[in-house]
Amino acid sequence: MSRPLPTEPALLRGPAGHIEALIDAPEAVRGIALVCHPHPLFGGANTNKVAHTLARAYRDLGYAVIR
């Protein structure tokens, strides 16, 4: 089994400003998964435990994950 690529930070530009994202990808991508975290005003972040666990599970199944 091959090792997953390291998590890559990304900055997505939008009309209201930038959105920080993290991208997790396996070596061979079978699809894309978008994992959203809880709202930042309520303590949410892209490093949230549930979002991180979901991202890792999807990556291990062969999906590129944006969170």
Mean pLDDT of 3-9: 85
Neighbouring residues of 47: CB distance < 8 A, sequence distance ≥ 6: 22, 37
- DSSP structure class, residue 2: P
Q: Which amino acid is it at 18? A: H
Q: What is the pLDDT of residues 8-27, one digit of tens each?
A: 999 999 999 999 999 999 98
The mean pLDDT value for 24-33 works out to 94
Instruction: Say what the pLDDT of residue 4 is.
Output: 72
Domain locations in the chain?
A: 8-66
What is the pTM (predicted TM-score) of this model? 0.81
